[in-house]
């Protein structure tokens, strides 16, 4: 697995240099589940701790972050050292507190690149607070980021340079795979497919286990089988160069048991239509939440 991850992730040690040649700095605001996973990934990649600052208001939590990661923690972004080059500001707080956090970054609006991972917060929302010249990247990650296997999809406004986009790709590669959008409107579809997607796979696992119970297996054993099968199939797909369809064909002998099951799953009352409806529902909800 480690080898696979290495193969898929570029190797990089620092965030690069700015126009003046000094090493770029990164400010992480919000070091919870997602921010913490990203930070762990960056440090594992060898990014120098001195190039990162964490902003955390709660003193006790700040101390625990400092002890855990060895990265300097400040309780206010206004307290950044004057010679700290805040080229990148990663906004990893909940959408509900974003207004306050972004307002607090206004003094960096013309200097920094802002990378937001908050669901539903659009580029124009950030431009509305930081100004139209602000450099904004909006990212939708998903929960497997916690184990380095996330899918992050990013969109940048026209003010962001290609060099910064490349740095952002490296930053996100620390928590999994990265893909870029050229049309922000597709972010709702992204949210519906990869953002919410892990939950569909968990539910599919539950269904597989329940069907196993109906077929006579003890509940525990049915869940063990279902879970291991989903994890194993996911890992096989991750490691293989072959498409999902080809992997399916590879395990479907003509006239065999898999084919019998797939005729149901792929038939007129199969899972494609409910899946399309589910994605549509999530997409609609994503649009509603963004207002
Ligand atoms: N988790 C996911 O699967 C996922 C997927 C896609 C996108 N996202 C997005 O990622 C963002 C973070 O989610 P999360 O799950 O990582 O949330 P989380 O675990 O609650 O982390 C947010 C962190 O931000 C801190 N914080 C709050 N206000 C702050 C402030 N003013 N200054 C500095 N730090 C502050 C919180 O501290 P306190 O706890 O002390 O308030 C907490 O440590 C959200 O916008 C979410 O939409 C998450």
Is there an atom of ligand 1 within 6 Å of 87 CB?
no
CA of 30 to the centre of ligand 1 (A): 5
Q: How far is CA 234 from CA 4, 93, 132, 205, in A?
A: 13, 30, 42, 12
CA of 130 to the centre of ligand 1 (A): 20
For atom 24 of ligand 1, the residue with the nearest CA is 30
**21: confidence class by pLDDT, cuts 50, 70, 90:** low
For atom 34 of ligand 1, the residue with the nearest CA is 30
**5: confidence class by pLDDT, cuts 50, 70, 90:** very low
153: closest CA among 182, 125, 110, 128?
182
Is there an atom of ligand 1 within 6 Å of 117 CB?
yes
Non-local CB neighbours of 4 within 8 Å, separated by 6+ positions = 238, 239
Is there an atom of ligand 1 within 6 Å of 65 CB?
no
Is there an atom of ligand 1 within 6 Å of 286 CB?
no
Long-range pairs for 64-67 at CB < 8 Å and ≥24 separation? 65/31, 65/36
CA of 23 to the centre of ligand 1 (A): 27
Q: Express each pLDDT in 233-289 by its tens digit.
A: 999 999 999 999 999 999 999 999 999 999 999 999 999 999 999 999 999 999 998
Helix axes 162-173, 33-44, angle to 10 degrees: 100
Report the predicted TM-score, pTM, of the whole model to 2 decimal places. 0.89
């Amino acid at each position: 697995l480690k080898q696979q991850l290495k193969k898929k992730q570029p190797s990089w040690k620092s965030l690069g240099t700015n126009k003046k040649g000094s090493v770029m700095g990164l400010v992480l605001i919000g070091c919870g589940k997602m921010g913490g996973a990203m930070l762990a990934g960056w440090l594992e990649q060898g990014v120098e701790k001195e190039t990162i600052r964490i902003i955390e208001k709660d003193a006790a939590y700040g101390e625990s972050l400092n002890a855990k990661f060895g990265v300097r923690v400040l309780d206010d972004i206004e307290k950044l050292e004057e010679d700290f080059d805040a080229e990148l500001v990663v906004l990893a707080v909940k959408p509900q507190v974003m207004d306050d956090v972004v307002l607090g970054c206004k003094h960096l609006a013309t200097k920094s690149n802002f990378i937001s991972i908050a669901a539903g917060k659009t580029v124009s929302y950030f431009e509305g607070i930081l100004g139209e010249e602000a450099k904004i990247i909006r990212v939708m990650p998903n929960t497997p980021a916690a184990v380095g296997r996330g899918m992050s999809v990013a969109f940048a406004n026209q003010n962001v340079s290609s060099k910064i986009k490349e740095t952002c790709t490296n930053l996100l590669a620390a928590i999994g795979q990265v893909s870029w959008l050229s049309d922000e409107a597709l972010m709702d579809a992204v949210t519906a497919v990869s953002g919410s997607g892990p939950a569909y796979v968990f539910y599919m696992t539950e269904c597989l286990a329940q069907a196993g119970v109906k077929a006579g297996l003890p509940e525990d054993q049915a869940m063990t089988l279902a879970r291991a099968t989903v994890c194993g199939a996911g890992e096989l797909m991750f490691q293989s160069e072959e498409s999902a369809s080809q992997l399916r064909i590879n395990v479907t002998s003509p006239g065999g048991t898999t084919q019998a099951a797939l005729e149901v799953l792929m038939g007129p009352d199969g899972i494609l239509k409910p899946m399309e409806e589910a994605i549509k529902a999530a997409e609609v909800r994503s649009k509603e939440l963004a207002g």
